[in-house]
């Protein structure tokens, strides 16, 4: 009499084969998830940087549009803007509304203007408005001086642009207006002292502009950075930006790169209040 023996479970070989196949499936699913997550982080960081670039150019262009504003268009420029010296800025020549930073850096600029209305605020949030009849000139004590400066952070994404404003004898007020800034460079073009025109269309680093120069055009570059570990491989945007820097600054930024996602915002304008 023969007995039929039926298998009651898996053999060790079958179990090992199943574990191997399952491991490959799990590894594949995990890799797919990680790749999808990385792509999501990269896309989100790129979108945030793009929004930051748009906001940065909007804010800086709006501030530059104030430079040299006079309440009374017929007021002489040198009377509206006499020569002056304030902390952190090179001397303002008579008739000039733009000045480089006094520390010789190209990481910011200074400008001045007459407030237009009684409810006006500066970019730092300071109340700078004046109660004065329309088209009546403001005395020099009412001029608003603004300093836009770059503050570097410990990490590239921690840098920021700060606005500091001063009016008359009031204490300076300061506030961060743009964050996520890895680097900031300012360029300027000088104008003719006696005629309201550019000496040349060439923009040069603000550090190359001397005190008492008549600056009639300003340009800028902002390098925005996401948080770390948001990209794989090299960043073309970062590499191209570094190519325009001196060796010391290039090395410094490279040493801080932790696979951030970058965006460069550029802008600027001829100071229309100082031009024909």
At residue 157's C-alpha, the angle toward residues 223 and 66, to 5°, is 50
pLDDT of 81 reads 93
pLDDT, one tens digit per residue, over 163-207 is: 999 999 889 999 999 999 999 999 999 887 777 777 777 899 999
Q: pLDDT: is 8 or 131 the higher one?
A: 131
In b/e form, how buried is each residue of 130-165, taking b as 16+ CB within 10 angstroms?
Answer: bebeeeebbeeebbbbbbbbbebeeebbbbbbbbbb
Range with top average pLDDT, 71-75, 90-94, 107-111: 107-111
What is the mean predicted confidence (pLDDT) over 129-135? 88
Percent of the chain clearing pLDDT 90 (strictly above): 63
Query: What per-residue confidence (pLDDT) applies to 196?
Result: 74
- Report pLDDT for 232: 86
CA–CA separation, 113 and 70 (whole Å): 7
């Amino acid at each position: 009499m023969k007995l039929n023996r039926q298998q009651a479970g898996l053999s060790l070989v079958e179990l090992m084969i199943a574990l191997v196949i399952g491991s490959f499936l799990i590894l594949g699913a995990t890799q797919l998830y990680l790749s999808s997550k990385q792509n999501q982080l990269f896309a989100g960081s790129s979108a945030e940087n793009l929004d930051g670039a748009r906001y940065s150019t909007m804010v800086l262009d709006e501030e530059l549009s104030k430079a040299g504003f006079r309440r009374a268009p017929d007021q002489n420029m040198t009377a509206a803007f006499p020569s002056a010296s304030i902390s952190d800025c090179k001397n303002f020549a008579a008739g000039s509304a733009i000045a480089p930073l006094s520390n010789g850096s190209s990481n910011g600029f200074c400008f001045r203007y007459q407030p237009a209305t009684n409810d006006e605020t500066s970019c730092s949030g300071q109340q700078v408005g004046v109660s004065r009849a329309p088209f009546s000139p403001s005395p020099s004590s009412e001029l608003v001086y603004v300093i836009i400066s770059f503050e570097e952070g410990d990490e590239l994404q921690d840098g920021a642009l700060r606005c500091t404003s001063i009016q008359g004898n009031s204490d300076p007020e300061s506030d961060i207006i743009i964050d996520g800034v890895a680097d900031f460079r300012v360029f300027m073009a000088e104008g003719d002292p006696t005629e309201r025109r550019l000496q040349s269309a060439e923009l040069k680093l603000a550090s190359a502009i001397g005190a008492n120069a008549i600056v009639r055009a300003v340009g800028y570059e902002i390098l925005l950075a996401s948080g770390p570990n948001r990209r794989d491989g090299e960043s073309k945007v970062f590499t191209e930006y570094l190519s325009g820097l001196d060796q010391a600054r290039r090395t410094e930024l490279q040493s801080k790169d932790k696979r951030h996602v970058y965006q460069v915002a550029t802008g600027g304008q001829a100071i229309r209040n100082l031009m024909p």
